[in-house]
Structure 1
Amino acid sequence: MTTPAPDPRLVPTPTFGVSKGNADYDLTPSPSPGRGAVEFDFPGVEVGTAEYTEGPTGATVVHVPAGARTSIDDRGGAIGIVGRYEYNHAICLAGGSVYGLGAAAGVSAELLGREQNQVDWQHLRTVSGAIIYDFSARDNAISPDAALGRAALEWARPGEFPVGRCGAGIAASAGKVDYGRAEFTGQGAAFRQVGRAKVLVATVTNPVGVIVDRDGRVVRGNYDPDTGQRSHPVADFAAAFDAEESPRIQRGNTTLTVVVTNVAMADRELSQFGKQVHSSMHRAIQPFHSSLDGDTLFALTTDEVDVASATGEAELSCVGLGAIASEVAWDAVLSSVA
């Protein structure tokens, strides 16, 4: 039985020009629950979302109070990132392009307050963050700021990850061969436990490419309102080259991903684990890692569980975990556009 194609969610064509920003509004952070939540069983991990409805734009915070070793894999050609710490207590994802990086500062300030402003070494709390460009889906310059990042952390709770058009993904979109063909996406999440190993993947999908399901069907992006069909960008690119023209591709894209596991890994293993999962996501997002995307993945481990392969080689176990996490990542991408 073939699943019906999802209804179109076209993004308004941007006008770009003089517009209103944060200073023109009396902004108050609002909760950002999305269309539902993915449940996860991962003690020590909390998730919070907040939004400015006037944008709309938002922030998503993955909080690990005890801290987690981190490896960052940034492959897009237009990265927007702050922190880059190898050990983090929180990861902040936000809209607003480069102007949204301030949301991470709000998370950091809130964590400082929770430590009663103690600034000796053992009380320092580190936060890394990254942003998507979401201005093409709205007609203003409102950006996530420190107040919004702080609110997202304040609303962080264990066990549930809001999905859909919420948090950092509230104005995310995909399939920007032409702005008139782009469709809203959002943020997605998926969780899986295999034995004692836990994997939580969250992603904000805002690519120039389209979203592809496991049957190879384009389910979001590059929707032609005249034909009522979605198509793979390769068809558009090939037609342009056949006509000896430059392909039409719009700027302002990025997919952000956070992978959290409890499996202990050496630094090199964690790095390769992150790269393996990030590489796998090209199956769900096509094209991926383009010069017009700022694709970034944060891989975190809480180092709570030792998992050895049948041969006793931890590296082999990490490869297997990476394969499992790669499927969880595909589930997370698809949940962002459901």
Structure 2
Amino acid sequence: MSTVPEPRLAPVSAFAPDVPANGDLPLTPRPSPGRAAVPFDIPGVFVGTAEYTEGPTGCTVVYVPAGARTAVDARGGAVGMTGGYEFNHAICLAGGSVYGLSAAAGVSAELLARRQNRTKWDELQLVSGAVVYDFSSRETAIHPDPELGRAALRNAVEGAFPVGRCGAGRSATVGKVDNVRAEYGGQGAAFRSIGGIKVLVATVLNAVGVVVDRSGTIVRGNYHASLGSRVHPVEDYALSLPEPVNGNTTLTVMVTNARLTDRELNQLARQVHSSMHRGIQPFHTENDGDVLFALTTDEADLDGLKPTGLGAFASEVAWDAILSGAE
């Protein structure tokens, strides 16, 4: 039987003018450990988080020093992304909407410094990034910037992914049929292996939709205080056709060690991203900017496992990651 968590309603921003922004306060990047860290066993993959508590807002960096081939699946009507390269050394996820895109520039600058400012073609460090709109639950204009991106990279450690209200998920909310019914989401992660194939999926939950578990129970979002329960958004839309809430996005990073062709990697990204509608309903709406980055370290042959089977397996890991972020 599903255990339904207690509500954690998010405050609704008044969107007042002249709230503090980055230049108005002496900001210092802080650690952003969340409530726990999910261990994973993919050597050469590092994860770091940092936040501005004054926001609050933060960013999350997945760092692969050797670089990794990447497929990007971007959906929804409000995608905020930079880079989108087919090969990356780091992925930077951040709050702050369009202003938070600058955090990826900080990751890039830090990597340049680590390469002793070498700029030969094959020394270039590639960084892609994407952002969530996290202003709806706070009264500041503070956003992740290059310094916060640098800090998240400097905090990166191998084999552990922070989860909870941390990193890019620091002020993320879900179930936003109406902002007064939104609940805090967060950052989730899950890791599984099948034979020698390993899959890590991490996601930042800031969706219009609610989070649904495998029993069909809504576990986070669209909480009606008058009813004392969560309601599926379709019921609200059918009854009152509320105006859609703008500024939502789910960001996902999937890392595997499976050796795949470019076509197989791209299809894996699509398959897993499509599957996530089971755990987030509705998903990929006109008001979401959903992006999934799929990276492979190209270390292990499938050995009989078909790419479609890997996709089915990874899709379950993605659902676990969604539920992890809703805890």
Q: TM-score with structure 1 length normalisation?
A: 0.95
For 1:111, the aligned partner's letter is L
Cα offset for 1:120?
0.5
Deviation at 1:225, TM superposition (A): 1.1
1:187 corresponds in structure 2 to 187
The amino acid of 1:295's aligned partner reads: D
Equivalences for residues 58-73 of structure 1 within 5 A: 58-73=58-73
Which position in structure 1 is the counterpart of 2:238?
238
Amino acid at match of 1:292: N
Larger deviation, residues 2-11 vs 259-268: 2-11
> Which residue identity lines up with residue 11 of structure 1 in the other structure?
A
The CA deviation at 1:71 is: 0.6
Aligned twin of 1:106: 106
Of residues 270, 290, 298, the one that matches 1:303 is 298
Post-superposition Cα deviations, 1:115-158, rounded to whole Å, max 9, x if no partner, equal 00011012111000000000001001000000000000000001
Equivalent AA in structure 1 for residue 116 of structure 2: Q
Aligned ranges 1:145-294 → 2 under 5 Å: 145-240=145-240, 246-294=241-289
**What residue is the counterpart of 1:335 in the other structure?**
324
Q: What's the offset of the Cα at 1:320?
A: 0.7
Distance 1:116 1:317 in 2: 42
Q: Which residue of 1 aligns with 2:13?
A: 14
Partner in structure 1 of residue 307 of structure 2? 318
How high is the sequence identity, in percent, across the aligned residues? 65
Aligned partners of 1:105, 1:131: CA distance in 2, in Å? 13
Post-superposition CA distance 1:224-247 (Å, at most 9, x none): 11111000000001112xxxxx43
Cα RMSD (Å) of the superposition?
0.8
- What is the identity, as a one-letter code, of the residue corresponding to 2:14? T
Equivalence for 1:124? 124
CA deviation map 1:8-67 (0-9, x unaligned): 100101101211100111000000000001011110000000000000000000000000
Find the aligned partners of 2:65 and 2:291 in 1 and give their Cα distance: 22
Runs of 4+ in 1 over 4 A off after TM superposition: none
**1:204 CA displacement:** 0.1
SS in 2 for 1:30: coil
Alignment partners' CA distance in 1, 2:261 and 2:4: 43
Give the corresponding residue for 1:313: none
Task: Encode CA deviations 1:243-289: one digit per residue, 9 max, x unaligned.
Answer: xxx43321110000000001011111110000000000000000000
Indicate the SS of the match to 2:129: strand
Q: Which amino acid aligns with 1:10?
A: L
- Tell me, which stretches of 5 or more residues in structure 2 are unaligned? none
Distance 1:224 1:247 in 2: 14
Q: What is the DSSP-based 3-state SS (H/G/I as helix, E as strand, rest coil) of the residue aligned with 2:147?
A: helix
Letter in 2 for 1:252: G
Counterpart of 1:334, as a letter, is: L
Asked if 1 retains the 8 angstrom alpha-carbon contact of 2:46 and 2:62, the reply is: yes
8 A contact 2:2–2:217 mirrored in 1: no
Looking at structure 1, the residues matched to 178 and 67 of structure 2 have their Cα atoms a distance apart, in angstroms, of: 41
1:199-222 deviation line (CA, Å, top 9, x unaligned)? 000000100000000000000000
Q: Matches of 2:158 and 2:3 in 1, distance apart?
A: 34
How many residue pairs end up in the alignment?
Answer: 326
Q: Give the Cα separation in 2 of the matches to 1:36 and 1:249.
A: 33
- CA distance in 1: counterparts of 2:303 and 2:307, whole angstroms: 9
Distance (Å, rounded) in 1 between the aligned partners of 2:215 and 2:111: 43
Name the SS for the 1:147 alignment partner. helix
Question: Which secondary structure state, in structure 2, belongs to the residue aligned with residue 4 of structure 1?
Answer: coil
- Specify the SS of the correspondent of 1:288: coil
Residues of 2 paired with 1:41 and 1:268: CA distance?
Answer: 25
Structure 1: where are the runs of 5+ without partners?
Answer: 241-245, 310-315
Contact kept in structure 1, 2:2 and 2:215, CA below 8 Å: no
Q: Which residue number corresponds to residue 25 of structure 2? A: 25
